Structure 1
Amino acid sequence: MKKICALKRIVIASSLLAIANMSFAGEYKRFSVSAGWLHVMPQGKANPFNINTIVKNGTNSTVGSISTKSFLNSVDPNAMGEDLGGIQFNQKEVLTEFLNDEFMQTLLTDGKGNILPEVAGSANIHGLENWQSAGTGLEADDVDTLGLTFNYYINDQVSLQLIGGIPPKVDIKGKGEIFAPMTGLATSPSPLVGILFPDGIDLNQAIPITNLGNKSKAATVRAWTPAIEAQYQFGKSGVNKLRPYIGAGVMYSHFTDIKLNQQIKSDLVAAGHMIQNVMDGQAGAALDGKPSSANPYVRVKTTDAIAPIVSLGATYDFNSNWYGIASVSYAKLNNEARIDVIDANTGNRLIHSKTKVDIDPLITYLGVGYRF
């Protein structure tokens, strides 16, 4: 009988202890906030720029006065001609000999290193309407900022988390050099040139526009990237101090305060003048890099984006209110950067370029939080 009574006491005590533990475990907090170090490491690679201008393929433009250097640079180095005897020759080599000869210079140039407009004639231009600039693009650099999280707990395991922080200034790196792939055919009314080049002079030049890769940064932007996740936390409140969790949700991105590298901006303004000179029938001035009738300015925009995000992390309870938190997240995030060169005088868009920017950030977070 005594053994039975003792066994009953043990069972009752164990039951009371279990009930107490269950009651304590159920006393989870509804809300929590945390703050800490947020480190963002973009994983995306550069994508080539796609570029188009208002110079349509087949545009005829008067060359006008042009320096001998710019003219020779525009001639296709592989183009062949044929003289009256049927003998083939390299067009660029013959033109170089012509323009270096003192007697021919008196007939073809103004004596100051420029080919006479009546000799230069006109050019039928291709290649500037649209092209893809291989090996170029933009990449976001690593960045650190203050991260903030806010959780609402539906129950002890499931919560909704809002992830934010102070929007950091992000450096954007440029990749590669942009060239304009101009091709075409130049024809001259000069009988002297026409005898040697009855079918015209073939043009083929990769005109340098700007070098993105030799700058420390191509641009800077302010990044706003809030995210919301549904999270599942393993373990129980008041029982397990260390509680791993997994989460999934969406991230929204918006970029402001976009500042383009000043040298790149100047290069694009010069490219705008080049395009306008072609449209004005001043192809020679375009190749010589002279100002045009336009007043170009550069406009840069980025698109907003929504991306999926997944997280893996853990919390460690210091007491019933304070806890530490560490997590790593990944978002499949990309947007589009658009750079336009616009004539302020007419509103015409001289150049339009765009590139996909793969950000794909890997985000680490280490912070301290409070439950209430």
Structure 2
Amino acid sequence: MKRSSSALLFSLFAISGGAHAQSANQWMLNAGWIHLAPQDSSQPLTVNALGASSTVPGSGAAVSDADTFAITATYFVTDHIAVETLLGVPPKLQLSGTGSLAALGNLGSARVWSPAILAQYHFGEPTARLRPYVGAGVTYVWFKNIELNSPIATGQFLASPTLGAKLEGPTSVSLSSSLAPIVNAGLTYNVNSHWSVGVSVSYAWLSTRATLTTRSSLGTVTSSTKLKIDPIVSFVSVGYRF
């Protein structure tokens, strides 16, 4: 009877000790909500028209915050080192004018695609209920579903005291793609052997060049600016480990 009791206690101890393990060769899937808070800035708009180039003094643009749903897949190479990939529903970023362009209001919107891969180091023992981590990686970013509001789509932003509306016309835009480095830090709370909740904060050095092409009555006009987005990304999620 004593031997049976001892065996039972040992089994319970072994189960409880490994109940929260995040160890080598395990996968963890997390799903949750992402909030992007751009730490944005922009260069003044440069306009190339009639063989000359000029800068619009005090012109700028700002990017709004955005929210979306995301999924991460994490593979533990060792008890402490993991590789994580992130995919999400592309959030819609709104762009508004600032400075001398503030009167134009909302300039347009675009959806941003940004799959990412990161290497992480998880602190503490694999059996710990609470495990902080840090990571670094890279994301490839491109923009789709770009929409321009009327002041930009019609070229009204090119109106001038000297030429009036002669430089205005149908306008299209392209946003450059880029690789952006990321750093992140987070915390995982292991509820049981499979389920967990997590929070993380990431920062990405992200910029894009916006090029506007206007077909005016005097010829093609190109306008461009470099926009830094540099978002702080917060992620709250529920995870399943197997």
- Give the aligned residue type for 1:175: T
Counterpart CA distance in 1 for 2:239 and 2:138 is 22
8 Å Cα contact 1:269-1:341 kept in structure 2: no
Task: Identify the match of residue 259 of structure 1 among 143, 147, 151.
Answer: 147
Q: Which runs of 5+ in 2 are unaligned?
A: 1-9
- Give, in whole Å, the separation in 1 of the partners of 2:25 and 2:120: 15
Find the residue that maps to 2:112 and give its secondary structure.
strand
Q: Name which one, 1 or 2, has greater alpha-carbon Rg.
A: 1
What is the deviation of 1:137?
2.1
- Please name the residue that 1:321 is paired with: 194
Q: Deviations over 1:126-160 (max 9, x none)?
A: xxx11112211222110011121111111111111
Q: Aligned partners of 1:47, 1:148: CA distance in 2, in Å? A: 34
Question: Are 1:41 and 2:1 matched, yes or no?
Answer: no
103, 107, 130: which one pairs with 1:242?
A: 130
The answer as to whether partners of 2:95 and 2:107 remain within 8 angstroms in 1 is: yes
Query: Do the aligned partners of residues 288 and 300 (structure 1) sit closer, same or farther apart at CA in structure 2, a change above 3 Å counting?
Result: closer
Take 1:270 and 1:360, find their aligned partners in 2: how far apart are those partners? 28
Q: Deviations over 1:22-47 (max 9, x none)?
A: x9468656211111110000002122
Structure 1: distance between partners of 2:23 and 2:165: 74
1:266 Cα deviation from its structure 2 partner: 2.3
Structure 1: where are the runs of 5+ without partners? 1-15, 57-128, 178-211, 275-285
CA 1:319–1:219: 2 relative to 1, 3 Å: same
Secondary structure of 1:218's aligned partner? strand
Is the contact between residue 222 and residue 255 of structure 1 (CA under 8 Å) also seen in structure 2? yes
Separation in structure 1 between the aligned mates of residue 22 and residue 96 of structure 2, nearest angstrom? 51
Q: Deviations over 1:46-94 (max 9, x none)?
A: 22111111x23xxxxxxxxxxxxxxxxxxxxxxxxxxxxxxxxxxxxxx
Mapped contact 1:149–1:162 kept (Cα < 8 A): yes
Counterpart in the other structure of 1:207: none
| Paired residues of 1:50 and 1:131 also in contact (CA < 8 A) | yes
Instruction: Please give the root-mean-square deviation of Cα atoms over the aligned residues, in Å.
Output: 2.8
Decide whether aligned partners of structure 1 residues 27 and 139 sit closer, same or farther in structure 2, where only a CA change above 3 A counts.
closer
Q: 1:256 to 1:175 in 2, by over 3 A?
A: same
1:227 equivalenced with 2:116 (yes/no): yes
Please give the alpha-carbon distance, in whole angstroms, between the structure 2 residues aligned to 1:311 and 1:27: 20
Amino acid at match of 1:261: N
Q: Secondary structure at the match of 1:264?
A: helix
- Counterparts in 2 of 1:1-372, with a 5 A limit? 24=18, 30-53=26-49, 55-56=50-51, 129-177=52-100, 212-237=101-126, 239-268=127-156, 271=159, 287=163, 289=165, 296-342=169-215, 350-372=220-242
Amino acid at match of 2:107: A
Gap change, CA 1:311 and 1:26, over 3 Å in 2: closer
The amino acid of 1:330's aligned partner reads Y
Find runs of 4+ consecutive structure 1 residues off by over 3 angstroms: 23-29, 267-271, 286-290
> Would you say the 8 A contact 2:155–2:171 is kept in 1?
no
TM-score if structure 2 supplies the norm length?
Answer: 0.84
Task: Note closer, same or farther for the CA distance 1:298–1:152 as it changes in structure 2 (3 Å cut).
Answer: same
Distance 1:169 1:26, change over 3 A: closer
Amino acid at match of 1:35: A
Of 134-143 and 226-235, more deviation after overlay is shown by 134-143
Q: 1:342 to 1:289 in 2, by over 3 A?
A: closer
> Could you tell me whether the CA contact under 8 Å between 2:44 and 2:225 is conserved in 1?
yes
**Would you say how many aligned residue pairs link Structure 1 and Structure 2?**
229
Cα-to-partner distance string for 1:114-137 (whole Å, 9 max, x where unaligned): xxxxxxxxxxxxxxx111122112
Provide the C-alpha distance between the structure 1 equivalents of 2:208 and 2:241, rounded to a whole number of angstroms: 36
2:22 and 2:179 map into 1 onto residues whose CA distance is: 36
